[in-house]
A and B are shown apart, each in its own frame.
Chain A
Amino acid sequence: MIQTESLTLGYRDNVIINHLNIEIPKGKITIFVGANGCGKSTLLRSLARLLKPMAGTVRLAEDELQQLSTKTIAKKLAVLPQSASSPEGITVQQLVKQGRYPHQSLLQQWSVEDEQVVNEAMASTGVKHLADRTIASLSGGQRQRAWIAMTLAQRTEILLLDEPTTFLDVAHQIEILDLCHTLNEMEGKTVVIVLHDLNLAARYADHMIALKDQTVYAEGKPEQVVTPEMMRAVFSLECEVIPDPVTGTPMTIPYGKKAIRRNDVRALAR
């Protein structure tokens, strides 16, 4: 669906991603993981044409991203940046309506279709009952769902989310990822997420990409990617990897100093 060809990204002469070749599979949930500053968000931004590559290309289906007009891209690919902040006093409905921008024109500003799509987007994210509330008055989870509703109103095949669960409590994290899962299952959307929580990433990802040293360290199914070796290499962290008791997906349990000390104690006791 999305492909990069020796993609090099960075700011000024600081190279962050170097000659990267990856492919985002169609109709799957792909999750990027990696240490802070490894360039996962940078990569996501360039897939969404929010950052120009220093070299190389990003392909969207057959087309080069750089060749397409920004409006054409907006009909194929929606992205929720991490920095999204709403103007003061805007309501949920007003925000979601903005998602129709790429489909509208000077004369066609609020068609019957626009209205339907906005209502559907609010319904499928469960914010319809909040339509007239201001974004500022919502809880973190509701707010994030309203933003996702806006991206859904764009009616795109692809959805990119940059750390959508940051600042949310665990219940809301699950809620947002469940929503992504549903969108993928029911509507066949291709979803790409940057995520910090490895255990949740392993649960929800069909395809995982671990980034390190400006390139891909490992990619594939969560079982293939999340291993003690990967944790050591990418995060410099000693971990146990066991099957998640609920889903069977790999679950990482870091040692850390405290854990090691306890193990020592236990060993002594034995």
Chain B
Amino acid sequence: MKKVVNVRSSSGTLSLQLELKPWLMMMLLFCSMIVLMTIGLALGSTWVSPITIFQYVIGMDVGSATFIIESLRLPRMLVALFAGAALGVSGLILQEMVRNPLASPDIIGITGGGTLAAVFFITTLGGIVSLSWLPLAAMGGSAVVSLFIYMLAWKDGISPIRLILIGIGINALLSALTTLMIVFSPLNTSSQAYVWMTGSVYGASWTDVGQMFPWVIVCIPLALLLTRAMHVHQLGEEVATSLGARMQVQRFMMISISVLLAGVAVAFAGGISFVGLMAPHIARLLFGKSFAVLVPAAALIGGMMVFSADVIGRTAFLPLDVPVGVFVSAIGAPFFLYLLYRNRHQ
């Protein structure tokens, strides 16, 4: 039996219904994320004790540890967290919108567009234009390609399945072009491009954090506002229309938010794959079906996946720093399989 609470103001101007259990679980998930973040900040070539981290957080002077936490580990962790959260929500929106569990920003070409733009930037403009423009190039690439896919998929409105199929086609083309560019570039730039494609938060700075923050903090709550529309869309196009949903306007908003989030992630953390696909699935397995609950859940899970992967990448093979994208799959896939296995026996 599900426990629900009705929230209603006396005047009736505000009313909504909340399920209690998932939000309590969400608190738990959030707490475990804080614990994981603390462990992540502690680990590294130099051990920083959690007590020191706590002292740093409440603003006490912790001496030399300040540099390690503040300049090296924290910005990197936050960029990873934001990128994961953005990808998680981006994938969730796509999957719920097309009612297909295989949709994700890296499968339908949104990430691919950013990757192509970034690789082009690294291989041809690398020496000429400052690298600080790379995120903008990547975001632009995602946006342009997504718009292109959107226009190609338009036929008296957007049909989600057409969008996915065209996206997959475009993605194949984009990855061919990207490979071609890498093949024709000199060795040092090509390896740089390759690391970028795998996804890396190496050398992330507070500037990156500051540039990502507004996008993430605006787009994720915006995704929450799509909840009612999303639930109605899931009854199918005809029923949704008959209930008064403005399908095309709402689909455009859904796609836009998904593209913006994926674009931001690609811009600052490179072509991390798998998170956009997995985080929503894990969220659904743990939290059920309500979109309002799935948005924060996918954000937290995606964020945790990416920063945990980065902590492992940077500590497991010291002094080597393995790109975050490698371990995202390495920890995400087994966990996902475990969840599927457990659900089978329920």
Binding site for B on A (CB under 8 A): 45, 48-50, 69-75, 78-81, 83-87, 89-90, 95, 98-99, 101-102, 104, 106-112, 114-115, 132, 154
Contacts and interface: CB of A to CB of B under 8 A. Distances in A.
Given A110-B16, A111-B8, A111-B15, A74 B244 contact: yes
Contacts of B245: 70, 101
A87 B234 contact: yes
A48 B235 CA distance: 17
B289 A89 contact: yes
Given A85-B236, A87-B235, A79 B12 contact: no
A79 B16 CA distance: 26
Contacts of B289: 87, 89-90
B17 A101 contact: no
A89 B239 CA distance: 17
B16 A70 contact: no
B231 interface: yes
B232 A108 contact: no
A111 B243 contact: no
Contact of A81 (B16, B17, B232, B238): B238
A26 B287 CA distance: 46
Given A49-B241, A108-B14, A70 B246 contact: yes
A73 B244 contact: yes
B225 interface: yes
Contact of A109 (B1, B99, B228, B234): B228
Nearest to B13: A107
A48 B12 CA distance: 31
B290 to A, nearest CB: 9
Given A111-B12, A112-B8, A112-B12, A154 B236 contact: no
Interface of B: 1-2, 6, 8, 12-17, 99, 225, 228, 231-232, 234-236, 238-239, 241-246, 289
11 contacts: A49-B241, A79-B242, A102-B243, A102-B244, A106-B225, A107-B14, A107-B15, A108-B13, A110-B17, A112-B12, A132-B1
CB-CB nearest 3 A-B residue pairs? A74-B244, A102-B244, A71-B244
A101 B244 contact: yes
Nearest to B96: A87
B246 to A, nearest CB: 6
Contacts of A95: 235
Contacts of A45: 238
A104 B228 contact: yes
Contacts of B243: 74, 98-99, 101-102, 154
A80 B238 CA distance: 9
Contacts of B234: 87, 90
A63 to B, nearest CB: 15
Nearest to A90: B289
Given A81-B236, A98-B231, 10 more contacts: A49-B241, A79-B242, A80-B239, A81-B242, A84-B235, A86-B235, A95-B235, A111-B12, A111-B15, A154-B243
A70 to B, nearest CB: 5
Contacts of A112: 8, 12, 15
A108 B244 contact: no
Contacts of B16: 109-110
A81 B239 CA distance: 7
B75 to A, nearest CB: 35
B228 A83 contact: no
Contacts of A50: 238, 241-242
A154 to B, nearest CB: 7
Contacts of A48: 242
B244 A84 contact: no
A45 B12 CA distance: 35
Contacts of A114: 15
A75 B289 CA distance: 27
B15 A109 contact: yes
Contacts of A109: 15-17, 228
Nearest to B241: A50
B12 A101 contact: no
Contacts of B232: 98, 101
Contacts of B238: 45, 50, 79, 81, 83-84
A84 B14 contact: no
Contacts of A49: 241
B98 to A, nearest CB: 12
Q: Which of B12, B225, B239, B245 has the most CB of A within 10 A?
A: B239
B279 to A, nearest CB: 20
